[in-house]
Amino acid sequence: MISVNNRDFLHVPIADYIIPAEKVAHVQIGNNAEHALLVLTKTGYSAIPVLDTKNHLKGLLGIGMITDSILGMERIEYERLEDLRVDDIMDVAIPRIITTDKFQKGLDLLINHTFLCVTEEDGTFAGILTRRVMLKEFKKYIYTN
């Protein structure tokens, strides 16, 4: 088991480790599933945030959710992509984490999620915190302490 003597890093705010909103691919409420599938495929990301027109975080959308929504009895009904809206298929039950939360909360949540959507207190999307970035920071910490 890894043992670290100094646990100060657990109390560092996550703000410094966030990939900022302007660098994060997203879709907007009202976009259709065809557009979302295009963004997901072109970027190569497994899931992306869904925002409203005021940049508030509304949910998360992954390729699996889109495929699931067009599964027919015998075939995938691609023609439905155009009429399906992202808000009808996105996952709204996503963990809540805000910019002032600490490293420890991020670490705990990232055990079950590859990335977390981070907001300001008022729900404005601030960016994402990825497992990759947190693991890199954790590794850096372990090697230097």
Instruction: Considering the complex, state which of residue 96 and residue 132 has its C-beta at the smaller distance from ligand AMP.
Output: 132
CA atoms within 13 A on the CB side of 8: 3
**Is the Cβ of residue 4 or residue 25 nearer to ligand AMP in the bound state?**
25
Q: Provide the minimum distance between the beta carbon of 129 and ligand AMP in the complex, in angstroms, as a whole number.
A: 9
Least spacing, CB of residue 122 vs ligand AMP, in Å:
22
Q: How far is the CB of 42 from ligand AMP (least distance, A)?
A: 11
* Beta pairing partners, 118: 97, 127
In terms of CB distance, is 21 or 84 closer to ligand AMP? Answer: 21
34 and 141 in contact (C-beta within 8 Å)?
no
φ/ψ bin of 24: left (φ > 0), alpha (ψ from -120 to 50), beta (otherwise): beta
Binding footprint of ligand AMP on the chain (CB under 6 A): 19, 23-25, 45-48, 114-115, 128, 130, 132
- Which residues, in sequence order, are bridge partners of residue 117? 128
